[in-house]
């Protein structure tokens, strides 16, 4: 009999860590009753799809931190067509995730049609939304006519939406940007209207042009302009770095919901904090002890879900940000290999932090 212990289940990890992390012990499902607009208005804080980031462990942390729904990483419709196991790993939720929003990218309407059929058949009731990426600015994506390149081809984009809607068992949404290139005429309002006409149930809009990548400032004004152009819900995104930003976007723009991306780095509580701000309640403080407990929980979830633990190196940088000697601890994290290495790192930071006042670390 082998002496190697199996990792604890995700349920056990979340439940046993809840008190120390300040996160919910279970993942609550996305509401099924009512229209998509009604559900988004009731629970308007969503975790964005992020390539190389939003794996199952990351989604669970966000959901337990108050996100109403979390998205998969971008999933290639061509990858699903060829049946790649690695592609399906991005799609299928992990216990105890009750549901997931799957974001697809590609350029061929028929491949989208096939992909939606496959995803609906495979996930069934665990599928909450299908989202079509028309926003990714990365050249290796756009040079194939995918992602934000579709902003230059509204007819093809509309054909993709119609193909997905025809086969989907859940609402189909799209994610777009303000325009393809800085200096171009803003296309987002007219483009969003065309996607609505094709059957899109909601439009997520990022306030940058594709050529900006993630530089400069996002123009939140485009959220209002898109909201005025369509009757479906608009999901705002871009420069939502804090809970205050998320609450302000909901209060000051025409967004029905907010999609948070980089603001989640090392801050899974951002959703619950934003909800408290919107409700006029006092937000919780997340001191060094709680942040370290969350990092340990996240690392254990990576192990339990079979993810490569190299991802924990990025997590270390995010969770340790702003702590005393953070650079030193990040350097040590780069040498970690197994889960015990990371947990030993956490213990070392805890011991070192006892000589410092426990204060909220700015995120």
What's CA 229's distance to the chain center, in Å? Answer: 26
Of 236, 124, 103, 226, nearest to 172 (Cα)? 103
d(CA 144, CA 155): 16
List residues with catalytic annotation: 136
- HSE-CB for 5 with a 13 A CA cutoff: 6
d(CA 12, CA 153): 48
Of 142, 257, 262, 253, nearest to 214 (Cα)? 262
Which residues does residue 129 pair with via DSSP β-bridges, in sequence order?
Answer: 101
What's CA 150's distance to the chain center, in Å? Answer: 22
Look-up of token digits 């290639």: 76
Kindly report whether the peptide bond that precedes residue 200 is cis, defined as omega within 30 degrees of 0: no
Phi, psi of 33 (to 5 degrees): -85, 145
- HSE-CB for 320 with a 13 A CA cutoff: 27
Kindly report whether the peptide bond that precedes residue 276 is cis, defined as omega within 30 degrees of 0: no
Burial of 19 (0-12, 13-18, 19+ CB in 10 A): exposed
Please enumerate in sequence order all residues whose Cβ is within 8 A of that of 316, keeping only pairs 6 or more positions apart, or say none.
Answer: 295, 329, 330, 333, 336, 342, 345
Is residue 148 helix, strand or coil? helix
Phi, psi of 212 (to 5 degrees): -70, -15
């Amino acid at each position: 009999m082998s002496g190697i212990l199996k990792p604890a289940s995700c349920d056990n990890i979340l439940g046993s860590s809840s008190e120390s992390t300040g996160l919910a012990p279970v993942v609550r499902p996305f509401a099924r009753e009512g229209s998509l607009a009604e559900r988004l208005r009731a629970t308007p804080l969503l975790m964005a799809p992020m390539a190389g980031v939003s794996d199952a462990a990351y989604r669970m942390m966000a959901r337990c931190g108050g996100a109403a729904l979390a998205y998969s990483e971008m999933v290639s419709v061509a990858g699903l067509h060829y049946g790649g196991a690695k592609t399906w790993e991005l799609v299928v939720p992990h216990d105890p995730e009750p549901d997931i929003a799957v974001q697809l990218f590609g350029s061929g309407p028929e491949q989208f049609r096939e992909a939606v059929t496959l995803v609906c058949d495979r996930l069934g009731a665990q599928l909450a939304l299908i989202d079509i990426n028309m926003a990714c600015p990365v050249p290796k994506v756009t040079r194939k006519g995918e992602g934000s390149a579709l902003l230059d081809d509204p007819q093809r984009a509309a054909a993709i939406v119609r193909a997905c809607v025809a086969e989907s068992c859940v609402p189909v949404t799209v994610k777009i940007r303000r325009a393809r290139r800085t200096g171009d005429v803003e296309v987002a309002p007219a483009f969003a209207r065309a996607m609505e006409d094709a059957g899109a149930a909601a439009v997520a809009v990022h306030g940058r042009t594709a050529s900006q990548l993630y530089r400069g400032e996002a123009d939140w004004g485009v959220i209002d302009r898109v909201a005025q152009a369509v009757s479906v819900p608009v999901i705002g995104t871009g420069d939502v770095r804090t809970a205050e930003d998320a609450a302000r976007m909901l209060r000051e723009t025409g967004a029905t919901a907010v999609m948070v991306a980089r603001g989640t780095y090392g801050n899974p509580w951002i959703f619950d904090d934003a909800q408290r701000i919107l409700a006029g309640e006092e937000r919780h403080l997340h001191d060094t002890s709680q942040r370290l407990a969350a990092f340990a929980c996240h690392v254990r979830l990576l192990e339990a879900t079979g993810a490569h633990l190299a991802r924990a190196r990025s997590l270390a940088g995010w969770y340790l940000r702003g702590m005393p000697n953070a650079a030193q601890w990040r350097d040590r994290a780069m040498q970690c290999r197994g889960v015990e290495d990371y947990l030993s790192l956490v213990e070392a930071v805890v011991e070192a932090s006892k000589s410092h006042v426990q204060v909220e670390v700015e995120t």
